[in-house]
Amino acid sequence: MDMKEKVHKMKMASPKMAATIGEVRNRALSNIADALLEKKEEIFSANAKDMAAAKENGISESVLKRLKFDEGKLSSCVEGLHQLMGLNDPVGKKQFVRQLDEGLILHRVSCPIGVIGVIFEARPDALVQISSLCIKSGNCAVLKGGKETAETNRVLFSVVKDAAVAAGIPEEAFLQAEAHSEIDELLTCDKDVDLLIPRGSNAFVSYIMNHTKIPVMGHADGVCHTYVDKDCDVKKAIPIVLDAKTQYSAACNATETLLVHRDIADAFLPEMANALSEAKVKVHGDEEVSHVITAEPLTEDGYKKEYLDMELSVKIVDDMDEAIDHINTFGSHHTDAILTENNEAAEYFMQMVDSAGVYQNASTRFADGFRYGFGAEVGISTGKIHARGPVGLEGLMTYKYKLYGSGQIVGDYASGEKSFHFKDL
Amino acid sequence: MDMKEKVHKMKMASPKMAATIGEVRNRALSNIADALLEKKEEIFSANAKDMAAAKENGISESVLKRLKFDEGKLSSCVEGLHQLMGLNDPVGKKQFVRQLDEGLILHRVSCPIGVIGVIFEARPDALVQISSLCIKSGNCAVLKGGKETAETNRVLFSVVKDAAVAAGIPEEAFLQAEAHSEIDELLTCDKDVDLLIPRGSNAFVSYIMNHTKIPVMGHADGVCHTYVDKDCDVKKAIPIVLDAKTQYSAACNATETLLVHRDIADAFLPEMANALSEAKVKVHGDEEVSHVITAEPLTEDGYKKEYLDMELSVKIVDDMDEAIDHINTFGSHHTDAILTENNEAAEYFMQMVDSAGVYQNASTRFADGFRYGFGAEVGISTGKIHARGPVGLEGLMTYKYKLYGSGQIVGDYASGEKSFHFKDL
């Protein structure tokens, strides 16, 4: 059976998965947590093989860190599973109940999206995290991990699947793709896969987005900005910018461009440059910036550059409108901050910047499902259709309309014999 | 300036449109209603030119009916505008307010999606309807109507735009595409157009869906089913099936396939066939159906056929599971009904059928935003991402996260120096 057939079979079984009760889905999560601990030696030894192969292939230190599945990652997986169990069941929630007319009652009820395709690079813990999010939300999952962690993924997949099936989850709810060619096959399954969630580099996510008709949730790039307004408190601004750039510079929510109001440039930039230099951040800027602080030229990408590293573009702007236009032009609609004590200015900025997250006096690094209190994160979306920004379980849900009648026909309402009497119940 | 540049200019102005207050948007709707009445002679005379050209080109009677813009359509447009004014403002609603920690407050606020591209065939009243929905929701709109109504659209567009701008809506919020080549150009504007809403034939919508990276909301086909369960009340079932097929057979929510439980086939089908025959509905079925009633063979498309006409496929099924599998395989996930007095069977069917609308004992023709009490309809979506089923104004909305801080940095939370204290306010 090829990928396409397998995915079609999953699609046909997805209503069965959607119909599982919350207790069964929670029991599956609990079983998975137990099984991970029970089989940890098997998992670690598979991971050791992946690590050895990766080292042989000269994989970089930072990727090796992500490949590694150790006691620390195991316990965060287990902790995540327990947290997920504690969240409310997102399935079958009545979003509204409306009487359309006597004996004609419309319910809108939350339900799983159906079949989720998840394609992720390098991190084996992502397999556990994503499959458990799919279980909690009643979705079927096609999982494709990076080839660098093939051994670890294979073991993790069978641990997760066996534990879930033992709890009563349908067998067809899980599918693992292993061959790289299966990614392209999966991308053509637009009749059966309802949503794709790619997790990985900009180039990887862009490739997925450009090669499928399936809706994709996620973000390719994260070019976030921090705008230092003329009315900012410099003492507050410096640690925020430092944090936004350096706290984890490889993250999508790290600030890549610092915009500074001309009126405060002289007072703010030299001090900021010192702090950045101490933190080993390389500053890029145009000629104007170079007149105030030491700066290297912008790269070829200019202000569209996502460094994902200890580098920062700096630009001086005439006013807030120029900052807003800059962000809406060069940004990726992810997360952008204004640092100001002027609340009216902040409101204007937050209204006009067209991004998922708009912040006043806080680090862009706060853009994260856990920090927003969602308990679990599916990913961060820079799209505006469906979920936007950090996405919790609700990003894996849709709804259906259930209409309970007693023989009503539209003809009677069209002719005027009957009329609608809307009433929310 | 070509289409691409114009659309980009619109995108850059979309935050200005999103920031307009509800009173201005309502005043625009009121102005449009007045202007339509005031300029009706101009509109009717443009429409007369379109009608004359259409007749010359041998356009079919049913399309001519849609092309015509007369007193009746004018007054429903005006009525629609007044209804829309009465709806709550969908912009700027606080969906939640959460304290993440002291002095760090997260708001989720509804906001317009941004730039909506609307491409519609034949019906000039659609231009008024869609542009007014976009105004109410604070979105910018690129409008492309069918070439058969070019004259009418040109006049309507300028009436709508002038009236809205006079009320304070930004000039850049409206764009009319006239040349057919501009459709393809519009389809490439994935950086600037946030959502496409195509309205027209199956082939037309499929073309749009297959030729753009922009998210598309709508439905290509509407293959709806009515399943007659063994426990159905035949007296109730016959008028429902008749209505679902004949009340407006060209609609996407008309039933195209009738599934009948084997145990009730002999009792139900002959009587149903009589009623269908009286209503001039042609029945298609396989050999088994032909043994019970007169039926022509299925067409080449088989059970995937969307007749949009007075024709109906009939199939006898062994049990409800076969009906469900049939619907999930051949249907378009639009709207499907079960006719039964057995509520448990109905719940099972409504759980397992993977469609936007699942009905018990009611005509599939109820699938409609007005009949659901939404006041205004953007369209009907068979997708599961974003809005599903009949879509009201909320389908044109997204949200943004506004985070109000007082200097918080992530480093303090990562180090454990501070911790989150989530509290919904």
Dump pLDDT digits (tens) for A78-137. Answer: 999 999 999 999 999 999 999 999 999 999 999 999 999 999 887 888 889 989 999 999
β-pairing, A94-101 vs A335-339, is unpaired
Q: How confident is the model at residue B380 (pLDDT cuts 50, 70, 90)?
A: very high
Distances from the Cα of A282 to the Cα of A251, A266, A306, angstroms: 17, 19, 13
Local structure of residue A416 (DSSP, 8 states): T
What are the tens digits of pLDDT across the range A321-353? 999 999 999 999 999 999 999 999 999 999 999
pLDDT of residue A387: 93
DSSP label at residue A330: H
Q: Do A15 and B389 touch (CB under 8 A)?
A: no
Token pair for residue B284? Answer: 């298609």
Q: Do B362 and A407 touch (CB under 8 A)?
A: yes
pLDDT band at A186 (very low <50, low <70, confident <90, very high): very high
DSSP label of A92? T
Q: What tokens appear for A281 in the block? A: 């951040």
- pLDDT of res. B140: 98
Distance, C-alpha A339 to centroid of its chain: 25
What pLDDT is recorded for position A199? 87
According to the model, what pLDDT value does residue B375 have?
A: 81
Nearest to A410 among B19, B351, B366 (CB): B366
Q: Would you place residue B362 in the very low, low, confident or very high pLDDT band (cuts 50, 70, 90)?
A: very high
- Per DSSP (E only), the strands in B325-377 are 335-339, 357-362
Q: What is the mean pLDDT of chain A?
A: 94
B85 within 8 A of B378, measured Cβ to Cβ: no
Q: How far is CA A378 from CA A132, A136, A370, B152, in A?
A: 10, 12, 10, 47
Whether the predicted pLDDT of B64 surpasses 90 = no
Contact present, B389 and A400 (Cβ < 8 Å) = yes
pLDDT band at residue A228 under the 50/70/90 scheme? very high
Residues of B within 8 A of A113 (CB-CB) are 384-385
Residues with Cβ within 8 Å of residue A15, at least 6 apart in sequence: B324, B328, B351, B352, B353, B354
Helix axis angle for B40-56 and B150-166, nearest 10°, is 160
Residue B62's pLDDT is 76
pLDDT at A62 over 80: no
Question: What's the confidence (pLDDT) of residue A366?
Answer: 97
Distances (CA, A) of B410 to A62, A224, B246, B285, B405: 21, 15, 62, 66, 12
Q: Which of A43, A247, A249, A36 is nearest to A129 (CA)?
A: A36
Cβ contacts from A onto B, under 8 A: 237
Please write the tens of the pLDDT for every residue from A121-134.
878 888 899 899 99
Nearest chain A Cα to B341, which residue? A406
Q: Which pLDDT value is given to residue B1? A: 73
Residue type, B259: L
A17 three-class SS: helix
Q: Give the count of beta carbons closer than 10 Å to the beta carbon of residue A72.
A: 10
Closest-CA residue of B relative to A213 is B210
Q: Which of A17-31, A188-202, A233-247 has the lowest mean pLDDT?
A: A188-202
- Asked if residue A379 has pLDDT above 80, the reply is yes
To 5 degrees, how large is the angle CA A133–CA A385–CA B6? 155
Task: Say if residue B122's pLDDT is above 90.
Answer: no
What number is the average pLDDT over the span B132-154? 94
Q: CA nearest A108 in B: which residue? A: B357
Residue A59: per-residue pLDDT? 86
- CA A372, CA A289: separation in Å to the nearest integer? 35
User: Which one-letter amino acid corresponds to residue B222?
Assistant: G
**Has residue A294 got a pLDDT over 80?**
yes
Give this prediction's pTM: 0.93
The pLDDT value given to residue B216: 93
Q: What would the two tokens of residue B257 be?
A: 């396939």
Q: Do A360 and B407 touch (CB under 8 A)?
A: no
Contact at CB, A353 and B15, closer than 8 angstroms: yes
Residues of chain A found within 8 Å of residue B104, distances taken between Cβ atoms: 362, 366
SS3 (DSSP) at B213: coil
Q: What is the DSSP string of A334-355?
A: SEEEEE-S-HHHHHHHHHHS-S
CA distance A194 to chain B (A): 7
Confidence of residue B378 (pLDDT cuts 50, 70, 90): confident
Quick check: A411 and B243 CB within 8 A? yes
Query: What span, in angstroms and rounded, lies between the C-alpha atoms of B141 and B172?
Result: 9
Q: What is the DSSP letter of A211?
A: T
Mean pLDDT of B261-279: 97
Q: Does B113 contact A384 at a Cβ distance shorter than 8 Å?
A: yes
Span B15-24, mean pLDDT? 97
B18–A114 C-beta distance less than 8 A: no
d(CA A396, CA A133): 8
Note whether A259 and A336 are within 8 A (CB): no
DSSP for B27-63? HHHHHHHHHHHHTHHHHHHHHHHHHHHHHHTT--HHH
The Cα–Cα gap between A83 and A203 comes to: 32
Subunit contact B15:A404, Cβ cutoff 8 A: no
pLDDT bracket for residue B178 (50, 70, 90):
confident
User: B149 in helix, strand or coil?
Assistant: helix
**Which tens digit of pLDDT belongs to each residue from A302-314?**
999 999 999 999 9
Task: Decide if pLDDT at A221 tops 90.
Answer: no
For residue B7, how many other CB atoms are within 10 A of its CB? 25
pLDDT band of residue A55 (cuts 50, 70, 90) is very high
User: What's the mean pLDDT in A29-48?
Assistant: 97
Sign of the dihedral defined by the CA atoms of residues B367, B368, B371, B374, in that order: positive
List chain B residues with CB under 8 Å of A329. Answer: 12
> DSSP characters for B286-321?
-HHHHHHS--BPP-TTGGG----SSEEEEEEESSHH
pLDDT beyond 90 at B219:
no
Paired tokens of A344: 């009216």
Where is mean pLDDT largest: A212-221, A331-340, B127-136, B299-308? A331-340
In degrees, rounded to 5, the angle at the alpha carbon of residue A144 between the alpha carbons of residues A178 and A399 is 140
Q: How is residue A256 written in tokens?
A: 């890549």
With bands split at pLDDT 50, 70 and 90, how would you rate the model's confidence at A181?
A: confident
For residues B107 and B123, the model is more confident at B107
Tokens of A88: 């409310």
